[in-house]
Structure 1
Amino acid sequence: MSLSCNALGWSVKEKTIVSDATLKVRTGEMLGLVGPNGSGKSSLLRMLAGIQKPSSGRVCLGETPMSNMRQRDIARKLALVEQHANTEDRITVREAVELGRTPFLTALRTWRSEDDAIVASALAAVDLKGFEDRLWHTLSGGERQRVQIARALAQAPDILLLDEPTNHLDIGHQLAILHLVRGLPVTSVIALHDLNQALLCDRICVMEAGRIVALGAPSEILTEARLRDTFGVCGHFMTDPFDGTAIIRFHSARTG
């Protein structure tokens, strides 16, 4: 399923957070969303997820305007993993992940064995098997992040939005999560700070001051000029001798 927005904007007390964002994420692609802190990445993701109502423009799931859809129907198609998720409730890891099945439960469609299997599969996918009975408040930041990703996977979405999903994770789990998302049969948008991780995406969308300023293949978008002008660093592309993939070596623009 594709995801698109047209002339999307959001302002708070006359301060523009996102302006005139137009974008179409193709069915099955993995789009990396990058930009400096405060560039509007999280706000754009929240509007794409239907959580934040835009001040202007619209979002479509496939060809259907999101504004015409019920929240439950949106949640059956799309899942969002935000940067920070906290709760004061004393819930277990399993209970947190089971929340991902909520959009599918009704008075007529109660919990089934297939829901148990989906939850178990989601936990295993993020390396949390054996954590089922751990309480949320006892988890580290990285473990909580993985629980939130498992909750999103339990929704079995067609579209997966992730806001810095590798934040708080050790390098092993960072790579595992990125490769997991890349292998899923979903359309995904991932906000990332690590530009070398963004190179794994099919396309990259660059934001500056609330606007989309570049969109395309990583090799076309992450040029030395873009790295300098947008991120304030000098970067040179190199070839990884291990597998031949492109990597970026950074140093301060002031010393470049």
Structure 2
Amino acid sequence: MKLTAEHLNWAVHGTQLLTDVSLSIPPRQTFGLIGPNGSGKTTLLRLLAGLRKPKQGRVLMDDSPMERMRQRDIARSVTLVEQQAETTDRITVHDVVALGRTPFLSALRPWSEQDEAIVTRALHDVDMHHMADRLWHTLSGGERQRVHIGRALAQQPKILLLDEPTNHLDIRHQLSILELVRQLPVTVIISLHDLNHAMECDRIGVMDGGRLVDCGPPKEVLTAFRLRQTFGVYADIFADPIDGSQVMRFRNAI
């Protein structure tokens, strides 16, 4: 499913957080969103997920304006994994992941064996099947993050949005989650802090001061000039001798 943003603007209490942001992400593309803290990445993701309505502009799924769609229909196609999503309920890991099936359930369509199979698969995909009966409040930050991603996978979205999903994860689970996301047959928009991870995306967009200042293939966007201009760092860019991929090392520009 294609996702398009047209001239999005968003402000809070007179402070402009997004200004005239337009982008189009084709079906099944993995699009990385990068930028300094406070550059507007999270705000943009929430607008793209339909959790907020833009002050100006619009978001389209394929050619359908999201503003004309029911929230339940949006939830059947789009899911957002946010940085922080807490609960005080005494709920198990299995039941958190099962929440991903909520948009598909009704009095006429109750929980089924198929739903249970989808939840089981999602738990395995994020390496949390062995903790299915653990209570949420007993989990570490990294374990909670994997459960959130599992819930999103259980929803089987056509468009998956992730806001810095590797936060709190150890390096092994960072790599496994990113590899899993790249293999999913869905459209993915993923906000990342690690610019070397961003190199694995099909395209990336650079946010700065609420604007989308650059967009394109990673090797064309992540230049020494762009990194100094937007992030305030010097970058040495190397070709990995094993596979030829681009690797970056950073130095403080101050």
For the aligned pair, the TM-score class normalised by the smaller chain equals over 0.9
**% identity of equivalent residues:** 59
Q: Tell me which amino acid in the other structure corresponds to 1:118.
A: I
Q: Deviations over 1:22-70 (max 9, x none)?
A: 0101111000000000000000000000111211110011110000101
What SS is found at the alignment partner of 1:147? Answer: helix
Q: Tell me which amino acid in the other structure corresponds to 1:226.
A: R
Q: Tell me which amino acid in the other structure corresponds to 1:191.
A: S
Q: Cα RMSD (Å) of the superposition? A: 0.7
What SS is found at the alignment partner of 1:9? Answer: strand
Q: Deviations over 1:146-166 (max 9, x none)?
A: 000000000000000000000
Q: Tell me which amino acid in the other structure corresponds to 1:174.
A: Q
Matches within 5 A, 1:79-94: 79-94=79-94
Give the corresponding residue for 1:168.
Answer: 168
Give the corresponding residue for 1:195.
Answer: 195
Q: Deviations over 1:66-111 (max 9, x none)?
A: 0010111001101110000100111000000000000000111110
Runs of 4+ displaced beyond 2 Å: 241-244
Unpaired runs of 5+ residues, structure 1, are none
In structure 1, how many angstroms separate the alpha carbons of the residues matched to 2:9 and 2:177? 30
In structure 1, how many angstroms separate the alpha carbons of the residues matched to 2:53 and 2:6? 14
Determine if the alignment matches structure 1 residue 138 to structure 2 residue 138. Answer: yes
Q: Tell me which amino acid in the other structure corresponds to 1:228.
A: R
Give the corresponding residue for 2:241.
Answer: 241
Q: Tell me which amino acid in the other structure corresponds to 1:93.
A: V
Shift of 1:241: 2.3
Shift of 1:130: 1.0
Q: Tell me which amino acid in the other structure corresponds to 2:103.
A: P
Give the corresponding residue for 2:183.
Answer: 183
Q: Tell me which amino acid in the other structure corresponds to 1:145.
A: Q
Matches within 5 A, 1:57-76: 57-76=57-76
Unpaired runs of 5+ residues, structure 2, are none
Give the corresponding residue for 2:36.
Answer: 36
Give the corresponding residue for 2:251.
Answer: 251
Matched residue count? 254
Query: TM-score, with normalisation over the residues of structure 1?
Result: 0.98
Shift of 1:127: 0.6
In structure 2, how many angstroms separate the alpha carbons of the residues matched to 1:89 and 1:182? 32
In structure 2, how many angstroms separate the alpha carbons of the residues matched to 1:242 and 1:145? 31
